[in-house]
Amino acid sequence: MEERLRKQRPDVWFLTEFVEPWLPVRDIGNLRRVNQRSQQSPLPAELPVTDRTRHRRLRDQGSLARTDLEAILDAGFVCHLGVVVEGHPMVVPTVYGHDGTDLFLHGSVASRSLAADPDAAVCVTVTHVDGLILARSVFEHGVNYRSAMIHGVPRQVTDPEEKLRGLRLLTEHAAPGQWDYARRPSRKELAATTLLALSLAEASVKTAIGPPDDGAGPDAELGIWAGNLPLRTTWGAPEADPLLPAGIDPPPHIAGREAAPL
């Protein structure tokens, strides 16, 4: 395999030297992203309450369980990176991966949001909308959701081995099985990619679930329908690139996701 790669792609074969299977290759039967993590996070099981993570309102919706944070991270792959660039706030949607200890974010070396002041704090959020809470009164309307906010100063990953490991986590988080299927980054592509690691030490978690709050109040007598309108996100059928030659089918780790929930 290595010999073939060395001949076909002299620019990437070297990666096989250090692209070790740190993480077990997952099969389509088990998409739980948590399986990527070979060990338990060394971070405390209880999230710390800091000035940045303390909930001000609806405190019962908060959770201090690190397992809840991980479940929210496992359930999505797009986050919003909030960062101040040259005095201006920017909130950038971007994909992520994580290993229970760090969140990994990547982008072009030309990306301003990833090249901000190395000492500057950022805030990353991940949000899943689970439904709309329709109450009798407009005031009591709301959203059922699961969300996480992570605070910290990210670290630029420069060590090529760690960079590859982070990119693998990120790729496998969005598309389990794809790291071993697609061509891996070349030395040049790696150099063109910025990878940030943000510690998962300081984070807050909030979730809302259930019916509206005004079922037992005076508005209950209005005769207005109230309840939860659930929202579900599922994968569709793979759509082949129009430039794809005939005879190349989507691999099972892609085709098998059709109709599966996010």
Ligand X SMILES: Cc1ncc(COP(=O)(O)O)c(CN)c1O
Q: What angle do CA 176, 177, 183 make, to 5 degrees?
A: 120
Nearest to 84 by CA among 179, 24, 153: 153
7 interacts with ligand X by CB under 6 A: no
Minimum distance of ligand X from residue 52's CB (angstroms): 9
205 interacts with ligand X by CB under 6 A: yes
Q: Which is nearer to ligand X, 43 or 157 (CB)?
A: 43
Nearest to 178 by CA among 194, 192, 186, 167: 167
Binding letters toward ligand X, positions 104-143, x by CB under 6 A: ----------------------------------------
206 interacts with ligand X by CB under 6 A: yes
Dist. CA 148–CA 125, nearest whole Å: 6
Q: Which is nearer to ligand X, 68 or 102 (CB)?
A: 68
Binding range to ligand X, per CB under 6 A, among 55-63, 75-83, 105-113, 167-175: 55-63
Dist. CA 66–CA 61, nearest whole Å: 15
**Contact with ligand X (CB under 6 A) among 37, 55, 128, 141:** 55
209: CB partners within 8 A, 6+ apart: 130, 144
Interface ranges with ligand X (CB under 6 A): 55-58, 147-149, 204-206
